[in-house]
Amino acid sequence: MGKKVTVVGAGFYGSTTAQRLAEYDVFETVVLVDVVEGKPEGLALDLNQSRPVEGYETLVVGKTVGFDGSGYEIIEGSDVVIITAGFPRKPGMSRMDLLEKNAGIVRPVAENVAKYAPNAVIIVVTNPLDEMTALAQIAAQFPKNRVMGQAGMLDTARFTHFVAEATGAKISEVKTLTLGSHGETMVPVPSACSVKGQPLSEVLPAEKIEELVVRTRNGGAEVVALLKTGSAYYAPSAAAARMAKAVAEDSGAVMPVCAWVDGEYGIDGVYLGVEAELGAEGVRRVVETDLTAEELAGLKEAAEAVRAKQSDVASM
């Protein structure tokens, strides 16, 4: 049996994710579902017609689904389900402003995933990310290793781009890392960052690093403010698609993701941005990185901030 991946939500984020997944040519089928009548079918048709040009075999299947769960049988047997459905941010909105609106979307989606694709690994990208990941796990009642969120990959990619731009280095010569939550309590890890193998602190002055850290933390808001309508999707979809690929290939790739932390770093019982080894069962294990005392304190602070909000979602 070939691998099957489902993308829930056919907006810019979802459709771009479906395109990337199809072009990898590691899945037999990419399913795209949305509540907007005809939209997923139309996008699937368009994507399939690009197959002869791009030279991939993956078939894209689009299906309109209902808020009542109708149509979700199309996702049956999915190995991975990526949840992108939800309202995007508007200029001036924080990720937290979306909490209640998007909880009402993510909960029924996760319940339908549990019903039709009970063995899937769920990757959540709907904002506010850490809270929606916790909610999806509660609603689906999956083991925690099979539900994760996409954030660290994106934040790290943004940080890497900014460092490369500031130093004139190639992207391939820059290594960065961000942990913590997606948003205000993001914890960039300068001690794990390097340019051409040299520690970042030796390449850029402290105030410039701090400036790039702040820009990374506000990376999504910067794009939202420029676009005026909608939010980022090229970089976020690349991050989610790579995570799905690691699961499908059971690769053991280590990536920064939003994963369940239970004892690592002395932190218990919370979804948090950490590095994790990904495979067919989702998160194989959380990989602990050597942190400075300051970075570890920041990570623990992020954990407490997220924990307080994650406890609220159980009742949503």
Residue 269, annotated ligand binder? no
Residue 102, annotated ligand binder? yes
Residue 125, annotated ligand binder? yes
Residue 95, annotated ligand binder? yes
Residue 13, annotated ligand binder? yes
Q: 293-313 and 129-140 helices cross at what angle (nearest 10)?
A: 50
Residue 127, annotated ligand binder? yes
Residue 244, annotated ligand binder? no
CA distance 239 to 6: 16
Residue 262, annotated ligand binder? no
State whether residue 175 is helix, strand or coil: strand
**242-251 burial by CB neighbour count: b if 16+ within 10 A, else e?**
bbbbbbbeee
Residue 158, annotated ligand binder? yes
Asked if residue 114 lies in contact with residue 140, where contact means CB atoms within 8 angstroms, the answer is: yes
Side chain identity, residue 196: K
What contacts 24+ positions apart, CB below 8 Å, involve 229-234? 229/90, 230/12, 230/88, 231/13, 231/88, 231/89, 233/11, 233/12, 233/13, 233/16, 234/16
- Distances in Å between the Cα of 303 and the Cα atoms of 136, 247, 287, 291 are 18, 25, 16, 15
Residue 10, annotated ligand binder? yes
Instruction: Please count the other Cβ atoms lying within 10 Å of the Cβ belonging to residue 139.
Output: 23
Question: One of 107, 182, 217, 245 is an active-site residue; which one?
Answer: 182
Residue 46, annotated ligand binder? no
Residue 34, annotated ligand binder? yes
161 is catalytic: no
- Give the distance from CA 263 to its chain's centroid: 23
Number of H helices and number of E strands within the chain? 11, 14
- In the annotated binding site, the residues are 9-14, 34, 89, 95, 102, 125-127, 158
Known binding-site residues for substrate equal: 89, 95, 127, 158
What amino acid positions are annotated as catalytic residues? 182
Q: Which amino acids are annotated as binding site for NAD(+), given as ranges?
A: 9-14, 34, 102, 125-127
